[in-house]
Structure formats: structure tokens, C-alpha cells
Structure 1
Amino acid sequence: MSPRLVFLAASALWLAMSCLGVGAGRLAEDKQALIDFLAAIPLRRGLNWSPSTAVCGRWTGVTCSIDGSRVVAVRLPEIGFGGPIPPNTLSRLSALQNLSLNSNNLTGPFPADFANLTTLTGLHLHLNSFSGPLPSDFSPWKSLTSLDLSFNDFNGEIPASISGLTQLTALNLSSNSKDEIFVSGKGRRRDRSPEKAVAGSQDANNRLVFFEGCTFAFDLEDLLRASAEVLGKGTFGTAYKAVLEDATTVVVKRLKEVGVGKREFEQQMEMVGMVKHENVVELRAYYYSKDEKLVVYDHYSRGSVSSMLHGKRGQERTPLDWETRLKIALGAARGVAHIHVENNGKLVHGNIKSSNVFLNDQHYGCVSDLGLPSLINPMLPPLSRTAGYRAPEVVDTRKASQPSDVYSFGVLMLELLTGKSPIQITGGGGGGGGDEVVHLVRWVHSVLREEWTAEVFDVELLRYPNIEEEMVEMLQIAMNCVARTPVRRPKMPEVVGMIEGVRRFDSGNRSSTEAISESSTPTPVQDAAAQTTPQRG
């Protein structure tokens, strides 16, 4: 080997060893910065951070670069931190890209030395108790794509320098000081909307729009990166369960066949976003572009009422008991009744069905998918999937009404009572070999005509004692709701009152019944003969 080649080989080896040494040294510095941070901050829960263990792959909440040379992310939500962030600790993590310390009890001003964290792309400090003004200069964080400082006690104006964060796709500064604050961007003052907080500047295109009170901090890229599970394909699109990097779980519905433009879409979303009720699944965010329309909701871990009623029945399945079915009906009724009094009494759900009803923590029903039918392309044929819920007078599901909502709710009640789907396909029999379509409402009418009322109810309910009278009362309410003539159907606040008359539950939620007209409220329980005779229109 020539002296020149020997020299080049030796130089390459020396350079490689030097790089390894520098990388190891920087990682050691990052590790010490984290140790110093932990030693100086109050903490209710223990962390497995120890000087004797490797920081990469071992320490809770810490992520290193692919080559293991630097700490690039610290995610410690709800860990129990308190007090101010110790100075000269986290700010020494010069390669840090993501810092998530949300949902702790951190106090004090925004850390001034965070200006050293120039590689940050995500900063999530929401749900803490930080106070004082925001930093006047956001230019050190020019790589930020996601910033969430909501639910703190920051005050004053939002600095104009935020408008220089050209990479920003998710911004949430809501729910801070009660003092008036405004977004100052692109050289002009812009009052902050009381109803929504926009991810990014207000006039930005094709960004997620978050509504007031939403604590999420993510962007479209986060959603696309999230692990996703298909929950179901419904009338208006496919719903996914998305779990983000910080363990936030949401439901994302990808809408199909949207037939309205951006302006009309946004107007409808803003109207829906203003509906706040504990029995209405809240719209948290939406996204509109030419090729993609998304809506984001909270995730309900128990799944839909449809899956509970019509999922596989066997030893591993827990049947819905009678009390839960009552609470599902009552909660959903309250939710729909509240919807009907919104927007001066002009709002309609338009797609009430068991797959759009979920259980909250108290096992009351909550209705989802509000306002979506009006977005669908009017050139499409009527949707067959909703046929079992569709009132007789409704030809086009995009033109639903409050009376047709009542009809759909009545079908939902019949589902809860019978355990049967609104439409069932059975073998035709008789040697013809064809299938027979059985509509639930027609089937219940036929059974009641033969005075076989007991045959209506789900066999899974027969195990519960002393509920026969309540079941018959609920059946009578359901049959009132599915009256063929719209004018013979009760209004939803009246339905709430009737269900509450079946059994009183301990619940502070009575807001949906305030609009009930006492003069028009029908008697919920008729005599025994009337209970087995459905009202017909």
C-alpha cells in the first residue's frame, strides 16, 4: 500500500472516531440536562431516569435520534410536574424537536431560555398554569409546525411575530387570561373568534380548524402519521380511530361525495361546532381541501350502540341490560331535543341511527354526525343504508325535518327494545329461493296487531325481573314516534319528558326539557289496552 493510501485510510479512521466521540459527548450532555431538570422540579410520580441507565430506549418519555446521538423529543404529559420549569435545564437540549409537557401543574412565565431550542417543531404546554405575557419574539422557533399554549393564564396580545412562523399548521392559544387578546398577523389586527381557534392564521387555507375548548394540538401530518384503525364505513364516509404520538385518541371521519364548496362547508361546520351538550358528540375540528374533507370527534371507547346491539352474540359478549338501554334512549333523546332548539329551532340532525349513538361515562346515549346530510352531493341517489330509519315522507335524506328526526329516533327505540336491526334480510322461504326484506317498524306493527306484545321484546331482556311495565311504556313512546303522519308525532322535548316519566334517573341534565310545552305534552302511560295498540297515522 502506498504511503498516500495509508495516510487517507488513517485520516478516515481518525475522522470516524472523532465523530463517534462528539456524538457520545453530546448525548451525555443531553442526559445531564435531563437529570438536572428532574432534580430541580417537584414531581408527584416517579420516573425511571437514572444516571446509571442508557437514556435512549430506556427513559420514559424520551426519544433519541435514529443514530442515537441526541435527544430529539421529550413527551411527559400528566406526569405530575409542578412549579416553574428550572432554568438552564431543558434549554440545553439543542437538538430537541418536540417538547410535550401538557396536563401538568407547571407555573411561572414562559421560559425565556427556550429561545435556545431553535430546532423545535412541536411545543405543547397546554393545560398548565403558566402566566404572564407570551414571548415577544417567536423568530427563534421558525421550524415550529405545532404550538399549543391553551388553557393557561397567559395574558396580553398575541405577538405579531407568530405570523412569521411559516411552517405552522396547528396553533391553539385559547382559554388563557380573561383579558381580551387578539391575533395580530400579516400587519393587521384580527379579533379572535369566540367560537373557534384556527390552526394557523385565520386566513390560511387547507389547515385543520379547531373549535373553542378543544385541547388537541396536532396537524394533518400528525393524523396521517397516526396509527389508524377502521371503525366502520357509514353513510357519509369512513371513520377511523387515530392514536397520535402523544397517545391522544380521536375519531376521524373521511367524508365522501361532498357536494358543497369550501364556504358552505365551513358555514355548516361552524354552526355544528357551536352545538354544546353533554349528549351530543362534539365536533372538535374539521379540514377542507379540494381532495380531502375530514371531521374530528372525541373517541368513545365502548363503541356505537349498533355494535353493542348487533355484534356477535355469544359467551364473550356482555349484553346490554335494561337500565343501560333506558339511559341510552334518554341521553340520545336529550341530545336530539337540544339540537332541535339550536339555531332558533331550525336545526335538524338528519341521520339518527344506532351507529351514530355512543355511550358517555355515565352510560347515557350521545348522538354523533350532526349536520352531515346537507353536505352530500345532491346528484347522488337516495341513500339505501338509512332506509330503515327514514320517515315515510322523506324521499331525499338531505331534506330531513324535525318530525323525520323523531321518526328515526322511534326506530332507534325499537332497536333497543327488540334487539333487531331496522332492516333485516331473511330467506324468503316457500321454495322461491329469494330473500325477504323485513322492516322493523312494519314487523312490530304486525306483532302488535296480533296482540303478541311480549314477542316484540329482545330475549336478552327476559332475564331482568320487574321491567315489563317499563318496556311496554317505552314501546308506546316508540310507536308514537313512528306514527306515519308527521303531525301525529310528538316533538323531541316531549319525548324526553315521556321517557323521564318511565323512570327517574339521578342526573343534573334537564336542559333539554326546558322547552317542553306542558300544554302539549301527551300522557306517557295509557291504560293497559292502549299500551298494546300502536298509534297509526
Structure 2
Amino acid sequence: MRVVVVMVLWVAMMMLLSFCYVVSSEPVQDKQALLEFLSKTPHENRLQWNSSVSACSWVGVQCDSNNSYVYSLRLPGVGLVGEIPPNTLSRLSQLRVLSLRSNRLSGQIPQDFSQLKLIRGLYLQNNAFSGDLPGSLAGLPRLARLDLSRNSLSGGIPFSLNNLTRLTGLFLENNNFSGPLPNLHIQSLKEFNVSNNNLNGSIPEALSKSFSADSFRGNLDLCGDPLPPCNNSFFPSPIPSPSAIIPPVSPIKKKTHKKLNNPAIIAISVGCGLILLLLLLILFLCLRRRKSRRPAKPTKPVIPRTAGAGGAVGEAGTSSSKDEIGAGSAEAERNKLVFLDAGIYSFDLEDLLRASAEVLGKGSVGTSYKAVLEEGTTVVVKRLKDVVVSKREFEVQMEGLGKVKHENIVPLRAFYYSKDEKLLVYDFMPAGSLSALLHGSRGSGRTPLDWDNRMKIALSAARGLAHLHVASKVVHGNIKASNILLRTDLEACISDFGLNPLFGTSTPPNRVAGYRAPEVVETRKATFKSDVYSFGVLLLELLTGKAPNQASLGEDGIDLPRWVQSVVREEWTAEVFDVELMRFQNIEEEMVQLLQIAMACVSTVPDQRPGIQEVVRMIEDMNRAETDDGLRQSSDDPSKGSDGQTPPQGSRTPVSALTP
């Protein structure tokens, strides 16, 4: 009996201890991650998380039934501001739902969200997130709802989203996504919205059959069912000749059930006779009038023909319907594609009309397309807008630009002028632009643009611009990173040069926002000195990794040169440079030298800027002064100097040397 009583007491004690453990259990690691997140994220006082009580009782936090881990975190509209600190929320390894919607969060969506392997719902809408949609989100195997709408996300929508096999809702509307829509084959997807972005191309069949037009509206270059059909050409097809327009003939139905009476037959016969007489009279008058206008000596009709292989300029061939007397010469003139290099390309306007076109970008002077012709030739076609000069002025300008030849300049190969279309044809550069290479996705897996290649791009671009200024006497007028195209060896080639005269003095002042010299704001006229200023901004872009119109440069809209000047005013230049350059050793002196060259170029006084030839010489002198102390190595901590330590006092540069 005593033994039984002892056993009952022992069992009761164990149950009591177990109950007390359950009541007092606490997700310690999750609580620490949440406190670290809140301490590093600016926020309003709506969250009153008390570290002395269980995290499971905090506002917005929901734990499992045993209070052993955080199951759900919902913080909508609580006044969170800024970027999500890394290695905080990603430590909530058991999290199923994360909602941070309707705050003021910014920056890129953290790559370490890929660690939330059990998450089912991710709601980040109505914030200010920017950058690309990270491909790491495609590695969340249980994700069912993803809402990133109403942010400032850009870049393409990754095809890897097909890995989200359990996804039922994808909401990406009201962002800045561009490029074509990927072909998403997710059988579980029931809700989908990409409206109000910058997407282009045709809608994949799998999406067009499953979702209505409301899911795709607001993308001006998106086409195909359920939106209006696509036009594969990048400009409207030519209007067919009148002879090709044949109205459909309506079939005549035979009515055998009712016979015409005699008066009706007589009326029809009289009417037909009168119509026949009228037609004969018209034909007689036309023949007589034509005979009276016939010249005494007959002449041959003007038929457009292609220039010989030895000619300097070739004209595109036209169809036989355009060779008719009277209309032939006018039609040929309207559809003339003028080549500036004989023998380089062998296609005509009709080939371009049939080519498949892909939008490469929309710039300040027009839209660029990658055109792949049927025989496999690939070219870039720029469709100009707002051209104000006459056809003769346009032709003279193009013929002058066609003579510009240099290894660091993209040659102009052909042009087309009509009342409604003005087109330029360039070589296709498969390596893309400096803007895409420098400002592309900086997430995991990105290969940084190292210092040697940045110097190569700076020097080759300077040489191309020097040839424009000195040998060709041409003002570029639109120097920017998207107009610096790259060969496969990362040598730079300058594109879109000498086009400013086509747009007159009414050119809007924001045509090259961020790169524009101060005096251009007033005169709206580009000069050699304003080109040097724009090139100086380009050098600062290479050094800082920041785009000239990047919002993070300041709330007051400060431009890149003024931002650099404000940072180095305290004689601490290290904070200016791109963090991706901090991993390379033995480059601090060269970076400071190039910074000094750039700041000289962006002087507010035009006469104080060096000529582009002087800029080339200074950059070449930097290359000759390089030492062979060893390979430049990567530092584990990008915030440190080249040796992993804070840069010494000697590496600071006097502010007087950097003030423009």
C-alpha cells in the first residue's frame, strides 16, 4: 500500500513539473531574433514588445501550441522604416506566415529569406522595396502565397518561379518589372497579377488561358491573348497598294421560290442599260484626256533599283507593285533603307519588317530593338522619336555620322526616313551595356565588376569619345552608362552619338538627367565641355557603383558629383567607393587618382574642365604607373580596407584636391 501511494505521488509530481514546463516554455532563439530585428529597424511606437515577458504574447507574434517556436509574424502598418536587417527574420526557422505589408520598408528583399523553408505566406506589399526579385525566393518549397505588389521592384520576372509548385497566388502588380513574361506552368496557381509594370512581348499560352486581361493591363508593350494581338515588327507594316485591296464579294443567293414579273424585268433592263452607257461615257472621257496629256516623246517609268556592289550607298529593293508608272517613284522613296557601309549587310526594309523584334530599352531619344532577321543576322534598330529636322537635314547628319569609324565607337550602318518613322541601324553588342553590368542584380551569385575591368572600360570609352571630339568634330550629347556598350573582352564602345541636332532646341532638360552639365540646363545645347562633364559623372559611377539618379543619394535630389563632394568634405574618401571594390587589394591609390580625374571633369565651370585628350592621357599614365606587387585579392569583410583593416590616415585625400 505504501508503495502504491509513493508511485501515485511521483506520477503527480512529474505531471505537475511537465505542466509547469509547458506553461513557462519560451522560444528563446526566435525571441532573440525578433528583438534584434526591432532594434535594428527604425519604427514608430506602435510596437511595445517587452523583453521581460514571453515573445508569444507580443503584438503580431503567434507561436505554436507549446510556445516552442514562432509560427506567424504579422506586422502590417506598424511604421517600420528602412531596410530589413540581414540575419534576423531569417532565423525564424519554423515561420509559416510573414506579413510586413503597408509599412515603409525599402532596399532589396533580403536574400536570406531563402532560409525560411517552411514559410507558406509572404506578404510584403505596399512598401518601397527596390531591386530585382531575388531568385532565392524560388527555393521556398512550401510557399503558397507571394504578394510583392505596390513596391518599386525592377528587372525581369525569373523563370525559376516555376519551382514554387505549391504556389496558389502570385501578386506582382504596380512595380517596375521589365522584359518578357516567363512561361509559368504552375498547376496550383489560381490568382495571378502583373498589371501596371513595364513588361513586353507576348503573353505565354499557359497564362493567357488561365487569367483575364485585368491580370496584364498597364504594360504598354505586352500583347497577345487576352490583350490585343502582337505585331512582331517594331514599326507598322507598309500600307498596301490600292491594287492589293480587293473588297470581298458577297455571294448572290438564288431565289427560285419567287419569279419576277414583267414590269420589274423591264425596269432592271433599262437601269442596266443606262449604267452601261454611263460607264462607256466615263471611259471615253478618260481616254481622251489621257491622250491629250501624252508627251510627244515617250519616256520610261522610274523604277527603283539597288546600287551596285561598288557603290557607297545601297538602296533597298521594292516589290513589283511599287514599280508601276506614277506611284512607283513615290513608293520607293517612302521605303528607302540607306546603307552607309557597302557590303556589310545584305538585307532590305522588307527583311526588317519580317524580323522578330525584342525591346532592349527605352531611352531619351527613342526605343532600341534587337532584330533577328530570317537569315540569322542580328542588328540593333533604334526607333527615334520627336525628330524635328527635315528629311534633307536628317540625311546629311546621318551621312556624316556614318563616316565615324573607331574601335571604341559603335558604327552607324544604315538609316531610314519617312514621315512617320525614323530608324537607325547599328551592330548588335552581345555583352550588353555598362549600366546593366554595373547596376544589375547584386544578390548571391553575382560576379562583381573588378577594378581592372573598370579601368579598361574607363580608358576605352575615353578613347572613343576623344576620337569623336578630335578626329570627327562630333559632340556626343548623350553620354551615359546605357550608351556605353561592351564587347566580349569588356572593351567599351560608345553608341548613340551626334543625335542631338535632330531634336532642335526644344530638347527637354531631363533628356540625360543625372549626367547633364549645369550649363546645358540653361542653354539646352551640348558642347565638347558638357560631354567631358557627362564623362566625369560616368567615372564617378564606375567608382561609387551608384547610378547618377539613384534615390539613395539624398532626399533633396542631390546629384552624384555633389554627393561625392559632400562625402569627401570631411577628408574621408573610403566611404565614396563601391563596396564591391573593397575586396580587392592594392587599388586604393589608383581609385583616388581616378576620383581626382573625375572631379576635375565635373567642375561647374566649363573652362576649368580638361579636354578629353587630357583625360585619356591622365588615365593612361595611371595604367603605366601600376606596380607589380602581387595579385589583388579579395577581403572577407567588404567594410574593411584592402588588408582587412580600417584605411589608415595616410589614405585620406585632401578635400582641396577633390573640390570641383
Separation in structure 2 between the aligned mates of residue 254 and residue 531 of structure 1, nearest angstrom: 47
Q: SS at 2:518's partner residue?
A: coil
Q: Corresponding residue for 1:393?
A: 519
Separation in structure 2 between the aligned mates of residue 272 and residue 476 of structure 1, nearest angstrom: 33
- Summarize the Cα distance change of 1:380–1:469 in structure 2 as closer, same or farther, 3 Å threshold: closer
1:478 aligns with 2:606: no
Q: Corresponding residue for 1:212?
A: 341
Q: Displacement, 1:316? A: 3.8
Which residue of 342, 345, 352 maps to 2:479? 352
Where structure 2 has 5 or more consecutive residues not aligned to the other structure, the ranges are 1-299, 319-328, 627-649
RMSD: 2.8
Q: Displacement, 1:530? A: 6.0
Separation in structure 2 between the aligned mates of residue 427 and residue 333 of structure 1, nearest angstrom: 26
1:298 aligns with 2:427: yes
Q: How does 1:43-192 map to 2 (within 5 A)?
A: 166=303, 173-174=309-310, 192=311
1:323 aligns with 2:443: no
Q: Corresponding residue for 1:337?
A: 466
Matched-pair contact (CA < 8 Å) for 2:517–2:534: yes
1:381 aligns with 2:517: no
Matched-pair contact (CA < 8 Å) for 2:383–2:421: yes
- Summarize the Cα distance change of 1:285–1:410 in structure 2 as closer, same or farther, 3 Å threshold: same
1:234 aligns with 2:380: no
2:339 is matched by which residue type in structure 1?
Answer: F
Separation in structure 2 between the aligned mates of residue 467 and residue 234 of structure 1, nearest angstrom: 34
Matched-pair contact (CA < 8 Å) for 1:444–1:456: yes
Separation in structure 2 between the aligned mates of residue 387 and residue 319 of structure 1, nearest angstrom: 26
Which residue of 384, 395, 418 maps to 1:255? 384
Q: Corresponding residue for 1:150?
A: none
1:388 is matched by which residue type in structure 2?
Answer: G
1:275 aligns with 2:404: yes
Matched-pair contact (CA < 8 Å) for 1:257–1:377: no
1:406 is matched by which residue type in structure 2?
Answer: V
Q: Corresponding residue for 1:403?
A: 529
1:256 is matched by which residue type in structure 2?
Answer: K
1:400 is matched by which residue type in structure 2?
Answer: A
Separation in structure 2 between the aligned mates of residue 350 and residue 436 of structure 1, nearest angstrom: 26
Q: Displacement, 1:447? A: 0.7
Separation in structure 2 between the aligned mates of residue 461 and residue 487 of structure 1, nearest angstrom: 32
Q: SS at 2:380's partner residue?
A: strand
Q: Displacement, 1:466? A: 1.1
Separation in structure 2 between the aligned mates of residue 339 and residue 254 of structure 1, nearest angstrom: 23
Q: How many residues align?
A: 326
Q: Corresponding residue for 2:557?
A: 437
Matched-pair contact (CA < 8 Å) for 2:553–2:559: no
Separation in structure 2 between the aligned mates of residue 532 and residue 220 of structure 1, nearest angstrom: 57
Separation in structure 2 between the aligned mates of residue 172 and residue 325 of structure 1, nearest angstrom: 44
- Summarize the Cα distance change of 1:342–1:446 in structure 2 as closer, same or farther, 3 Å threshold: same
| Cα shift readout 1:349-400 (whole Å, capped 9, x = no counterpart) | 1110100001124322111001111111544532x14121111111268510
Give the structure with the higher percent strand.
1
Q: Displacement, 1:468? A: 1.1
- Summarize the Cα distance change of 1:398–1:278 in structure 2 as closer, same or farther, 3 Å threshold: farther
Matched-pair contact (CA < 8 Å) for 2:407–2:493: yes
Q: Displacement, 1:213? A: 4.9
Q: Corresponding residue for 1:287?
A: 416
Separation in structure 1 between the aligned mates of residue 600 and residue 552 of structure 2, nearest angstrom: 27
Matched-pair contact (CA < 8 Å) for 1:480–1:534: no
1:454 aligns with 2:581: no
Q: Corresponding residue for 1:490?
A: 610
Q: Displacement, 1:456? A: 0.7
| Cα shift readout 1:315-369 (whole Å, capped 9, x = no counterpart) | 24322111111111101100000000134x4x21111010000112432211100
Separation in structure 2 between the aligned mates of residue 533 and residue 199 of structure 1, nearest angstrom: 59
Separation in structure 2 between the aligned mates of residue 427 and residue 326 of structure 1, nearest angstrom: 24
Matched-pair contact (CA < 8 Å) for 1:277–1:335: yes
| Cα shift readout 1:110-141 (whole Å, capped 9, x = no counterpart) | xxxxxxxxxxxxxxxxxxxxxxxxxxxxxxxx
Which structure is richer in relative contact order (CA contacts within 8 A, separation 6 or more)?
Answer: 1
Matched-pair contact (CA < 8 Å) for 1:259–1:378: no
TM-score normalised to structure 2 length: 0.46
Matched-pair contact (CA < 8 Å) for 1:303–1:358: yes
Separation in structure 1 between the aligned mates of residue 515 and residue 581 of structure 2, nearest angstrom: 23
Q: Displacement, 1:299? A: 0.7
Matched-pair contact (CA < 8 Å) for 1:453–1:532: no
Separation in structure 2 between the aligned mates of residue 504 and residue 397 of structure 1, nearest angstrom: 39
Q: Displacement, 1:212? A: 2.3
Q: Displacement, 1:164? A: 9.3
Matched-pair contact (CA < 8 Å) for 1:426–1:436: no
Separation in structure 1 between the aligned mates of residue 625 and residue 484 of structure 2, nearest angstrom: 19
Q: SS at 2:567's partner residue?
A: helix
- Summarize the Cα distance change of 1:164–1:367 in structure 2 as closer, same or farther, 3 Å threshold: farther
TM-score normalised to structure 1 length: 0.57
Where structure 1 has 5 or more consecutive residues not aligned to the other structure, the ranges are 1-162, 175-191, 429-434, 507-526
1:391 is matched by which residue type in structure 2?
Answer: A
Q: Percent identity among equivalent residues? A: 59
Separation in structure 2 between the aligned mates of residue 442 and residue 245 of structure 1, nearest angstrom: 49
Could you say which structure has the larger radius of gyration? 2
Separation in structure 1 between the aligned mates of residue 314 and residue 406 of structure 2, nearest angstrom: 19
Separation in structure 2 between the aligned mates of residue 316 and residue 436 of structure 1, nearest angstrom: 34
Q: SS at 2:566's partner residue?
A: helix
- Summarize the Cα distance change of 1:496–1:361 in structure 2 as closer, same or farther, 3 Å threshold: same
- Summarize the Cα distance change of 1:230–1:409 in structure 2 as closer, same or farther, 3 Å threshold: same
